[in-house]
Amino acid sequence: QKEVEQNSGPLSVPEGAIASLNCTYSDRGSQSFFWYRQYSGKSPELIMSIYSNGDKEDGRFTAQLNKASQYVSLLIRDSQPSDSATYLCAGDFKPGAGSYQLTFGKGTKLSVIP
Amino acid sequence: EAGVTQFPSHSVIEKGQTVTLRCDPISGHDNLYWYRRVMGKEIKFLLHFVKESKQDESGMPNNRFLAERTGGTYSTLKVQPAELEDSGVYFCASSQVEGGLYGYTFGSGTRLTVV
């Protein structure tokens, strides 16, 4: 069974610090990985997608993918209180003849302390 | 561009009743997905439509769940009869192409509580 594992947290960082969120996955066949941010009661919002090994930067966010180690991470630089949310790691898997499906981790709750 | 719209946002029903959830995907998105999050668990795939056709319904829990997408536009997910374990948040997502090449856009979900 394909799994995505995340530390559920909560992860607390002071404002202005770097928040580091980590995720491991079990299926080597996955090609695409995503980080979603979800505020309480709201929809998951895509903040980063990454498809190849290495780093991908977008503003204050950097996603890192290491397929050999089956590891995905998200760094948030200069963390702001508005970054406080649950961060969901997801991998896109295609089980056999089925469709591509997102497999989610349980999410890491991040609190940025002013 | 309007996002993915789901309603109702909340529904409380009694065990044994029927509930129908609706999802309006982003216009032009042929791919529509249903996901569910039950308390304390991760979000899990239920099924995938391409236009009006069910491409994959391997995640549907049992035959009390029926999804339709007549005309290939909006979709409904009916639970009949509802059981306590059906409580959770039901998310709909849509995408331009199958797979995540351009990402998936999620709706805000329907929180279903069965009492």
Please, which residues have CB within 8 angstroms of residue A112's CB and are 6 or more apart in sequence? Answer: A12, A13, A14, A15, A17, A19, A79, A80, A81, A82, A83, A84
The reply to whether residue A95 touches residue B58, judged by beta carbons under 8 angstroms, is: yes
Predicted confidence at residue B107, as pLDDT, reads 94
- Average predicted confidence (pLDDT) for chain A: 92
Owner of token pair 């009743």: B17
Mark yes or no for CB contact B42/A32 under 8 Å.
Answer: no
Is residue B8 very low, low, confident or very high in pLDDT (cuts 50, 70, 90)?
Answer: very high
For residue B51, pLDDT over 70 is answered with yes
Residues of chain B contacting A36 with CB distance shorter than 8 Å: 106
DSSP A15: T
**Structure token pair of residue A5:** 């594992």
Q: Does A5 touch chain B (CB under 8 A)?
A: no
Q: CB distance B58–A98 less than 8 Å?
A: yes
Cross-chain CB nearest to A106 (options B42, B91, B100): B42
Calpha distance A75→A54 (Å, rounded): 13
pLDDT for the residue B1: 62
Residues of A in contact with B104 (CB under 8 A): 34, 46, 102
Q: Which residues contact B9 (CB under 8 A, 6 or more apart)?
A: B108, B109, B110, B111
**Count of pairs with CB atoms under 8 A, one residue in A, one in B:** 64
CA distances from B75 to B55, B68, B94 (A): 14, 6, 11
Q: For residue B59, which residues of chain A lie inside 8 Å, CB to CB?
A: 101
Contacts of B99 in chain A (CB under 8 A): 32, 92, 94, 100
Q: How confident is the model at residue B70 (pLDDT cuts 50, 70, 90)?
A: confident
Give the mean model confidence (pLDDT) for residues B78-105. Answer: 90
Confidence band for A7, pLDDT divided at 50, 70 and 90: confident
- Does the distance separating the beta carbons of B104 and A46 come in below 8 Å? yes
Which positions ≥6 away from B85 have C-beta within 8 Å? B38, B114
Distances B45 to A62, A65, A83, B91 between C-alpha atoms, Å: 27, 23, 26, 9
Q: Is the pLDDT of residue B94 over 70?
A: yes
